[in-house]
Chains A and B, each alone.
Chain A
């Protein structure tokens, strides 16, 4: 890896600010760069990227590549891959490139890895530099979370990883940190993007998007009907808390929520401060999507439900009896 140097992170922006996963990427990117004695650079592709560049420096970046003119009408999977490929080959030659294990990162990382002829480990919960080889060592859950595997990436070319939410500590922000902001033109032309976006349908959810929400209320197959899901979860607990709404595959299969709201290994990966798990059993594939939640509160009829193994607080009981008094008390508390 003689001529590959430095750590790149691909930063996502949400509602005009660095997304929580980006702060975590900067944290681990900074530590890996320090371990190699090299620079950490962030790549931001967004119309608002310029506004976030200073924050990225404060949070650990030595350099920020800002791409503001990426055509929004293009399918990002293809256009962002082209932009990142050029940044990693023409503009610079990073040794390591990190992305978030988000819907976006899960789409971009494999495309980039194969294009850069690079090794990639997805969904990492631990990353380190091998002191001898200076290669990336990556730890990730496998078999739906039933085991953990540690991989060493091989020499030659860049090394890629995506990180799971809340698995890595952000860097303590420091406003005085110095860094360089480099504007890079997107330079994507239509011929590079063969897939066309015809329509984008955004969820009409009143709460925040679950990937970035601080509080998420998740419902499972144990919720009786769509009407009850709305009454107790969406317009009940979630509205009271200003929380995002998610659920299990069981809830998707039962038609209680849309597939976009599925949390888990094969759905969204969330990392809220508080996750209310209502009438869901805590299957390992579901927990893979919310193991990063700081605090899990479980409400379940079955005292032996696996969710209680992961929960900090639990109530054994019917959600129909627990949620209304809970909402009442929370409303009181939150107004003081």
Chain B
């Protein structure tokens, strides 16, 4: 099975709220320099899902990342996917890609996927932990005219198809999708990314990552980067947490619990 996984680099998502700042001139979120850049968690789950399928039925896994930050740090992340077991990694890097939104990113990635050519399955994370947009995977599917499923937590290979377990409102669906198709992956214990083995890391270090520009993709510059974007970021702000918690205290926890219940009643919450 030929699998492509799209990965994005984001600032470490468990960074404490106090580290966040905004720069409204540059229209960007600011973080201290020591906050590491990592592969977005769901994208790592997508890579893991791809590797598991490869382990089961063989094939190739190619990872693709569109650089939204300096290329060398994104290359480091792509090499990590190679170290984990991916066969090839491709970086999309071009000033023409800059300032894009979900619309333009999905177009750039879709064109790169076309250029890769042979694929049965395209995996994306459900959403990236920086802008939380949650559109690119389904966007790629629409652009390439492929069937797609979201909120996928398990994938099984079939004959000319894959089976995907997808979270729904009150349970889950088991879907069968003919290949090629697109799945956007959510988190699941079974998709915890594997630790790259040492020989893999050493081998990956020596690999050269191909870098594709907009012209390599024969991309219509009107649909990629800022010129292709359908949304314009106007302003950034930090949220305010207004809550003032009323701590219920008493002689013992028994008594506090009773007082809590009474407060909920007197406040007409219950």
A-side residues, CB < 8 A to B, are 75, 77-78, 102-104, 106-107, 109-111, 113-115, 118-123, 137-138, 140-154, 194-203, 205, 209, 211, 241, 249, 252-253, 255, 259-260, 265-266, 268, 273-274, 283-285, 294-298, 303, 308-318, 321-326, 329-330, 333-334
Contact A317 B253 (CB under 8 A): yes
Q: Is the interface of B mostly helix, strand, loop or mixed?
A: mixed
Contact A205 B170 (CB under 8 A): yes
Once the chains are docked, how many angstroms separate the CA of A77 from the CA of B164? 14
Contacts known (A154-B230, A317-B253); A200 close to B235, Cβ less than 8 A: no
> Could you list some 29 contacts between A and B, CB below 8 A?
A77-B149, A77-B150, A113-B103, A118-B230, A119-B231, A123-B132, A143-B20, A146-B17, A146-B238, A149-B235, A150-B236, A154-B231, A195-B147, A195-B149, A196-B177, A198-B163, A199-B173, A209-B170, A268-B169, A274-B270, A309-B241, A311-B245, A313-B245, A313-B247, A313-B263, A314-B246, A314-B247, A322-B253, A326-B260
Contact B142 A114 (CB under 8 A): yes
The residue in chain A whose Cβ has the minimal distance to the Cβ of B247 is A314
Contacts known (A103-B151, A197-B174, A313-B248); A149 close to B236, Cβ less than 8 A: yes
The residue in chain A whose Cβ has the minimal distance to the Cβ of B246 is A313
Q: B202: which A residues are within 8 A, CB to CB?
A: none
The residue in chain B whose Cβ has the minimal distance to the Cβ of A151 is B231
Contact A260 B254 (CB under 8 A): no
Contact A121 B169 (CB under 8 A): no
Q: Find B257's partner among A118, A194, A326 (CB 8 Å cutoff).
A: A326
Q: A310: which B residues are within 8 A, CB to CB?
A: 241, 243
Contact B170 A75 (CB under 8 A): no
Q: Find A203's partner among B129, B147, B171, B176 (CB 8 Å cutoff).
A: B171
| Interface segment out of the listed B47-55, B82-90, B186-194 | B186-194
| Interface segment out of the listed B72-80, B133-141, B211-219 | B133-141
- Give B148 Cβ to nearest chain A Cβ, in Å: 7
Contact A195 B260 (CB under 8 A): no
Once the chains are docked, how many angstroms separate the CA of A288 from the CA of B167? 18
Once the chains are docked, how many angstroms separate the CA of A325 from the CA of B255? 8
Once the chains are docked, how many angstroms separate the CA of A329 from the CA of B270? 12
**Is B175 an interface residue, CB under 8 A from the partner?**
yes
Q: Find B253's partner among A147, A284, A296, A318 (CB 8 Å cutoff).
A: A318
Contact A146 B239 (CB under 8 A): yes
**Is B63 an interface residue, CB under 8 A from the partner?**
no
Contact B175 A197 (CB under 8 A): yes
Contact A309 B245 (CB under 8 A): yes
**Interface 0/1 of B229-270, CB less than 8 Å to A:** 111111111110101011111000111111011111101011
**Is B92 an interface residue, CB under 8 A from the partner?**
no
Q: A311: which B residues are within 8 A, CB to CB?
A: 243, 245
**Which residues of B1-46 have CB atoms within 8 Å of chain A's CB atoms?**
11, 13-15, 17, 20, 22, 29, 42
Q: Is the interface of A mostly helix, strand, loop or mixed?
A: mixed
Contact A147 B20 (CB under 8 A): yes
How many B residues are at the interface, by size bracket?
Answer: 35 or more
Contact A114 B143 (CB under 8 A): yes
Please name the 8 residue pairs, one residue from A and one from B, whose CB atoms are nearest each other, closest first.
Answer: A119-B230, A114-B142, A110-B138, A329-B261, A194-B147, A326-B257, A325-B257, A202-B171
Q: Find B130's partner among A102, A110, A143 (CB 8 Å cutoff).
A: A143
Q: A121: which B residues are within 8 A, CB to CB?
A: 231
Contact A198 B175 (CB under 8 A): yes
B-side residues, CB < 8 A to A, are 11, 13-15, 17, 20, 22, 29, 42, 101-103, 106, 126-127, 129-135, 137-139, 141-143, 147-151, 153, 163, 167-178, 181, 186-189, 229-239, 241, 243, 245-249, 253-258, 260-265, 267, 269-270
Contacts known (A316-B247, A325-B257); A114 close to B231, Cβ less than 8 A: no
Contact B151 A147 (CB under 8 A): no
Once the chains are docked, how many angstroms separate the CA of A151 from the CA of B234? 5
Contact B129 A144 (CB under 8 A): yes
Contact A322 B256 (CB under 8 A): yes
Contact A110 B168 (CB under 8 A): no
Q: Find A198's partner among B167, B176, B178 (CB 8 Å cutoff).
A: B176
The residue in chain A whose Cβ has the minimal distance to the Cβ of B149 is A195
Q: B234: which A residues are within 8 A, CB to CB?
A: 137, 150-152
Contacts known (A107-B151, A197-B174, A260-B170); A315 close to B134, Cβ less than 8 A: no
- Give A266 Cβ to nearest chain B Cβ, in Å: 6
Q: Find B20's partner among A146, A195, A265, A294 (CB 8 Å cutoff).
A: A146
**19 new A-B pairs (CB below 8 Å) besides A202-B170, A202-B171, A329-B261?**
A107-B138, A110-B138, A114-B135, A121-B231, A142-B131, A150-B234, A151-B232, A153-B231, A154-B230, A195-B177, A197-B174, A200-B171, A211-B169, A260-B167, A260-B172, A313-B248, A317-B253, A321-B254, A333-B261
Contact A325 B163 (CB under 8 A): no
- Give A246 Cβ to nearest chain B Cβ, in Å: 12
Contacts known (A143-B132, A322-B256); A315 close to B233, Cβ less than 8 A: no
Q: A329: which B residues are within 8 A, CB to CB?
A: 257-258, 261-262
Q: B231: which A residues are within 8 A, CB to CB?
A: 119-121, 138, 151-154
Contacts known (A147-B22, A265-B132, A329-B262); A106 close to B171, Cβ less than 8 A: no
Contacts known (A152-B231, A253-B189, A311-B243); A194 close to B178, Cβ less than 8 A: yes
Once the chains are docked, how many angstroms separate the CA of A31 from the CA of B139? 29
